Amino acid sequence: MNQRVQLGQSTKKLGRFLEKMQLVSKADMKSVLDDLAGLDADLPFILDKRGLVDEQTVAETIARVFKLPLIREVPPSNVLTNLNVMTIQEMDRYRLLPLAYDQTLPIPNLKVIMSNPFNLVHCQGLSKRMTIGISIGVSSAIKHTLTILLSRAPVPTVDHQVIAQLIESGFVTSAQVAFATQVVTGQQRKPLVHTGSNQSKSSETGLDS
């Protein structure tokens, strides 16, 4: 299943959730989802622009129902842009901002902010190798931060894309790549500790069921 189809499915899941919460009528949601079919669109942002429901209300509802922290604004300086597990382009695709990464644990932990937590279900390259802690953000605030980051980001090199593919396939871990980078730059001399990150781990929210 390709990424566009996967994102479309998570958008539909969020749509059904918002219908269940009675924030948007079934007829209005069907009209919006039909228009967004095949697009990497941000549903809360579109619903806000069409005057159906405020994106702030969507974020607050998701955070309340799933008992997740709500973060209203994320400065670009707070976003981890040097992680080998995800490019800025992928952050934009999933509307996801990584805020903290701890690889000293037996299973690495990544804390992120998302506008649609159902997108995490399809970030299999992440959720299979680490635990994910989710916070909910307002769509336009996340997109604003991503726009700034994308304007600063260099185009990914072939080497970077190869490394990302190896990590995605499970041949190497992000910890191994980070260690190799530190060795090459002379910053690290001690042996790499096995992270156990090849084991399949779900997120902390139960959203990937």
Measuring CA to CA, which residue among 196, 200, 41 is closest to residue 124?
200
pLDDT of residue 200: 37
Q: How far apart are CA 84 and CA 165, in angstroms?
A: 10
Could you tell me if 159 and 100 lie in one domain? yes
Contact predicate 84/174, CB 8 Å? yes
**Same domain? 38 vs 95:** no
Residue 8 lies in a domain: yes
**Local confidence band at 204 (pLDDT 50, 70, 90 cut-offs):** low
At residue 119, the pLDDT reads 83
172: left (phi over 0), alpha (psi -120 to 50) or beta: beta
Number of domains in the chain: 2
* 99 plus 37 within the same structural domain: no
Would 50 be classed as within a structural domain? yes
**What pLDDT is recorded for position 114?**
92
Q: How confident is the model at residue 15 (pLDDT cuts 50, 70, 90)?
A: very high
State mean pLDDT over 45-51.
93
Domain assignment present for residue 195? The answer is: no
Q: Does one domain contain both 80 and 20?
A: no
Same domain, 95 and 178: yes
In which domain, by residue range, is 46 found? 3-71
User: Per the domain annotation, does 48 fall within a domain?
Assistant: yes
User: Which of 71, 91, 116 delimits the end of a domain?
Assistant: 71
- Same structural domain for residues 28 and 84? no
Q: Tens digit of pLDDT for each residue in 162-172?
A: 766 666 566 66
Domain shared by 64 and 83, yes or no: no
CA distances from 56 to 76, 109, 135 (A): 20, 27, 14
- Mean pLDDT is lowest, of 1-5, 34-38, 61-65, 182-186, for 1-5
Q: From 99, 101, 92, 85, select the one nearest 119 (Cα to Cα).
A: 92
Residues 22 and 59 occupy one common structural domain: yes
**Are residues 106 and 149 both part of a single domain?**
yes
Same domain, 44 and 105: no
Whether 94 maps to a domain, the answer reads yes
Q: Are 110 and 175 members of one domain?
A: yes
- The DSSP call for residue 104 is S
| pLDDT at 56 (0 to 100) | 95
Token pair listed for 68: 């997740």
Cα–Cα distance, 18 to 171 (Å, whole number): 38
Lowest mean pLDDT among 1-10, 39-48, 69-78, 93-102: 1-10
Same-domain pairing of 60 and 100:
no
Q: Which of 55, 71, 87 is the last residue of a domain?
A: 71
Span 114-162, pLDDT tens digits: 999 888 765 655 666 788 889 999 999 999 999 998 887 655 566 666 7
Asked whether residue 64 is domain-assigned, the answer is yes
C-alpha span between 25 and 19 (Å, rounded): 6
Q: How far is CA 129 from CA 22, 159, 206, in A?
A: 36, 21, 16
